[in-house]
């Protein structure tokens, strides 16, 4: 097998504090892999600046001028992590294998050589999977577990404890380019490609510097986007609710008619208001779910660009 050109894709948003250490570690790692003939000398790391408001792009420019193995891609504004990652993957079209990893060094870069070895063993996709969640809070562990179970319940194929740390072959990446969705959830889309895949396990570290860009609101939004972008089962839930309410209304109608014929009836406030509240709540829930899907269709049919490139340092 010929020596492979590797591209490491790193989306960045306000990462000026961690970039010096990240670039240092990746530079040393890449030099070691080149020395072992694991990858070619023209391999590189591509930093994608997702509209940062700090000096992230200045750092990327400096790294590019100092080291030929560093490249930069600047987006015109903040498009979000998934779109920034996609932009980097699409613009690394000269690489044989692509590895995506976050800039915060929580995902262990030392797993990269093992990923490359797995690729050479015949795997097109290699998922980086954290081996435990002992460092997470109880709340984060339970919600993460619940989310993966919910994804499975919704019929979405996903890799447990995997984020966006993965290797993709050129063949897998070319196949992935046929996915034209605007609403992105890469963790659920990549398994849809198929091809041979495997896992590499690593220990997740604390963030080296800076602060996480994902607060609770963003994580919930990201989770809902993953479910609604890849599954129509919530719409099936709407159908089930409609069927359930229909059956319940038939039962209540029979009960009311029987009570009118055979018993003395006293019409009260509760028997009038409770069904109204119940039906109103079901209707609002169903309308809201349908509205979410209509909004996604609205975004898809506009076919707006998922990212816009302002500058590319090759």
- In eight-state DSSP terms, residue 306 is S
Helix (H, G, I), strand (E, B) or coil at 212: coil
101 and 83 part of one domain:
yes
160 and 243 part of one domain:
no
194 and 285 part of one domain:
no
Question: What span, in angstroms and rounded, lies between the C-alpha atoms of 167 and 112?
Answer: 8
241 and 131 part of one domain:
no
- In the block, which residue shows the tokens 């009836």? 265
pTM of the model: 0.72
15 and 43 part of one domain:
yes
Q: Flag whether 58 is in a domain.
A: yes
More confident residue, 196 or 156: 196
What tens digit of pLDDT does each residue of 246-286 get?
666 666 666 666 665 666 655 655 566 567 666 766 776 77
Phi, psi angles (nearest 5°) of residue 47? -90, 130
Torsion angle of C-alpha atoms 241, 243, 246, 247, degrees rounded to 10: -110
Question: What span, in angstroms and rounded, lies between the C-alpha atoms of 80 and 13?
Answer: 9
**Residue among 96, 94, 112 at smallest CA distance from 10:** 112
Alpha helices in the chain (DSSP H): 19-35, 56-66, 81-91, 112-120, 138-153, 170-176, 186-189, 216-230, 233-262, 269-302
Q: Flag whether 219 is in a domain.
A: no
165 and 292 part of one domain:
no
Q: Which domain holds residue 152?
A: 6-211+305-313
248 and 101 part of one domain:
no
Number of domain units in the chain: 2
C-alpha triplet 193, 199, 203: angle, nearest 5°: 135
Is pLDDT of 116 > 70? Answer: yes
89 and 186 part of one domain:
yes
């Amino acid at each position: 097998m010929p020596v492979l050109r590797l591209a490491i894709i790193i989306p960045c948003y306000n990462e000026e504090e961690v970039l010096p250490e990240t670039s240092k570690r990746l530079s040393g790692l890449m030099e070691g892999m080149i020395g072992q003939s694991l990858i070619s000398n023209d391999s590189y790391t591509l930093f994608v600046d997702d509209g940062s408001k700090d000096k992230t792009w200045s750092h990327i420019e400096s790294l590019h001028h100092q080291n030929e193995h560093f490249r930069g891609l600047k987006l015109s504004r903040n498009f979000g992590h998934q779109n920034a990652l996609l932009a980097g993957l699409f613009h690394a079209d000269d690489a044989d294998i692509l590895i995506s990893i976050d800039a915060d060094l929580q995902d262990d870069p030392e797993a990269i050589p093992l990923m490359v070895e797995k690729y050479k063993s015949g795997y097109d996709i290699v998922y980086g999977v954290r081996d435990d969640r002992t460092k997470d809070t109880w709340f984060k562990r339970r919600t993460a577990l619940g989310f993966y179970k919910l994804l499975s319940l919704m019929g979405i194929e996903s890799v447990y404890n995997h984020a966006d740390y993965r290797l993709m072959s050129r063949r897998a990446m070319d196949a992935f380019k046929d996915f034209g969705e605007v609403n992105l959830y890469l963790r659920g889309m990549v398994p849809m490609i198929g091809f041979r895949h495997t896992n590499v396990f690593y220990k997740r570290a604390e963030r080296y510097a800076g602060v996480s860009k994902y607060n609770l609101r963003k994580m919930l939004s990201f989770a809902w986007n993953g479910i609604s972008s890849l599954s129509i089962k919530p719409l099936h839930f709407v159908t089930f609710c409609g069927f359930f309410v229909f059956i319940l209304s038939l039962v209540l109608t029979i009960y009311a008619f029987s009570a009118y014929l055979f018993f003395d009836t006293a019409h009260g406030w509760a028997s009038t208001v409770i069904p109204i509240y119940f039906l109103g709540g079901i209707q609002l829930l169903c309308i809201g779910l349908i509205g979410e899907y209509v909004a996604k269709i609205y975004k898809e049919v506009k076919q707006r660009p998922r990212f816009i490139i302002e500058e590319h340092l090759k």
